[in-house]
Amino acid sequence: MGAGTEPSEAQNDAAEGRVYLDYNATTPLAPEVAQAVRDALHQAWGNPSSSHPAGRKAKEVVGSARESLARMVGGRPEDIVFTSGGTEANNMVIHTACRHFHESQARPGDSRGMPHIVTSSVEHDSVRLPVEQLVKESLAEATFVAVSPRSGRVEVDDVLAAVRPTTCLVSIMLANNETGVIMPVADLSQHIRVLNQRRATEGLPRILVHTDAAQMIGKGRVDVQELGVDYLTIVGHKFYGPRIGALYARGPGTTTPLHPMLFGGGQERSFRPGTENTPMIAGLGQAAELVSKNWEAYESHMRDVRDYLEAKLEASFGKQRIHLNSHFTGSKRLCNTCNFSILGPGLQGQRVLSRCRTLLASVGAACHSEKGDRPSSILLSCGIPYDVAQNALRLSVGRDTTRADVDLVVQDLVLAVGQLDQDQAL
C-alpha cells in the first residue's frame, strides 16, 4: 500500500465498528509519518556520527528533522534536543534546574539552602512524580499551586505568590490533558522575566520557566517566542508522530542551562548521548511538518466535531443530566477535548465504558487507568464534586473524527446508560 492509502489504527477500529475517541492518550501514526520512518529505516540506516556516505545521509535526516521541530515551535534548530519522550524531557529540566541552583551560588561554600520548585496541582505525573521524589529525598522543596475552581487554570498571581528566594524553576503545563484547559503560560513568563531582573540585583538565583506542551502541539498555536519560556516539552505520539520526543531549550548550555542525565558518546552535543534513533527522529520531523502546515485546519475541524459532540450529548441525555467538566468561565480550552459526566447513580465512568460496544475512550489520563472508580484527582482539584467526577468520561476527537462518528458514539452511550439505569432499578 502507498503512504497515502495506508489505513491508520483509528481507521482500522472504524472498520471493526469501533470509534476511537482517546486522542489525548495517543494518536496513530499519520501515513506520511509512517512512510518517513520506513524510508529512513531503508535509506538512512548509517550511524549519524560516521563520516562515510551512509553516516552522512543519516546525519542529514536528523538535521532536517531538527529544523522541522524548531520551525513548528518557533525556535532555532540548535535549541532542539531529541529525547526518548516527554518523561525524559521533563525529568531533564527538573534535574537541570536543581543543579543550576547549586552551581550558580555566588562563591564556593555559600549556601542558599535547598532549591525550590513551583508547579501546579494538575501536572502530568512525569512532572509531579520527579518533583515529589526530590522532596522525598530532601534534595528540593516544592509548592504545588492549586488551580482555581472558577477558571480551572493555575492563576498567575497564585504562582507568583508561591515564589521564594530559593525558587529555581516554575513548571506549568500548556494545556491540561484531562480538562483541556489552557494555562496562562505567556503571561506568567512575562511576570517572571520582570521578577528575574529584580532578583539579579539582589543576588538571588534565576527562575527558569518550563512548559510541557504535550497536549497543545497540533491542536493550537505553539510559539516559544510568544510563550517566553526557557524550556518546552514536545511529545511525538500526541501529534500523529512516533513515541519519541524532544526538548526545546532556549540556547542550551549558553543562554539557558541544560545538564545531561546520561553520559556517553557525545551525541546531541552531549546533552543527550546515545546513538540517534534516526527512523523515529525522521518520523517526528515529518509529524512536525504536518503540524506547521496544517495546525489551523486541524484545530478548526476538531473544534467543530467536539462542539457537535457536546451539543449531541445535551440533546440526547438532556442538559440537566450532562455535566461538562471542562467548561470554566473565561478559560480557553483545547479544541478536541470533551470531559463530561452523565449524572446519576451507578454511572461511574468505567462502568459506562464497559457497556459501550462502539466507543473507545477513557475516564482520564491513560497513565491512571488502573485506579478503578476513584475519581480523577485533576477533576477534584478543579472543584468538580466527588460524585460528578466519579462519573467522568474524557472524549478527545482527532483529525479524522467525523460528525457521523459522534452520532454512533452518542447512540452507544445512550444504550449503555439505559442498561445501567435498568440494572440500578432492579
- Direct distance between the N- and C-terminal alpha carbons of the chain, in angstroms, rounded to an integer: 52
Q: pTM for this one?
A: 0.95
Q: What is the structure's pLDDT at 426? A: 78
Q: How confident is the model at residue 2 (pLDDT cuts 50, 70, 90)?
A: very low
Q: Are 313 and 340 in contact (CB under 8 A)?
A: yes
Q: How many CB atoms lie within 10 A of CB 4?
A: 8
- Report the half-sphere exposure of 353 (CA within 13 A, side-chain side): 23
Pick from 326, 188, 160, 174: which is nearest to 235 by CA? 174
382 catalytic? Reply is: no
Average pLDDT over residues 348-366: 93
User: Residues 159-183: pLDDT tens digits?
Assistant: 999 999 999 999 999 999 999 999 9
Residue 331 has pLDDT above 90, yes or no: yes
Q: How confident is the model at residue 5 (pLDDT cuts 50, 70, 90)?
A: very low
- Phi, then psi, of 210 in degrees rounded to 5: -130, 145
| DSSP H or E run through 307 | helix 278-317
Q: What is the structure's pLDDT at 3? A: 41
User: Residues 109-151: pLDDT tens digits?
Assistant: 556 799 999 999 999 999 999 999 999 999 999 999 999 999 9
Residue 106 has pLDDT above 90, yes or no: no
Q: How many CB atoms lie within 10 A of CB 183?
A: 27
Pairwise CA distance, residues 75 & 231, whole Å: 11
> 98, 338, 356, 367: which is the annotated catalytic residue?
367
Q: Using the structure block, give the residue that is written with the C-alpha cell 452523565.
A: 342
Pairwise CA distance, residues 339 & 331, whole Å: 15
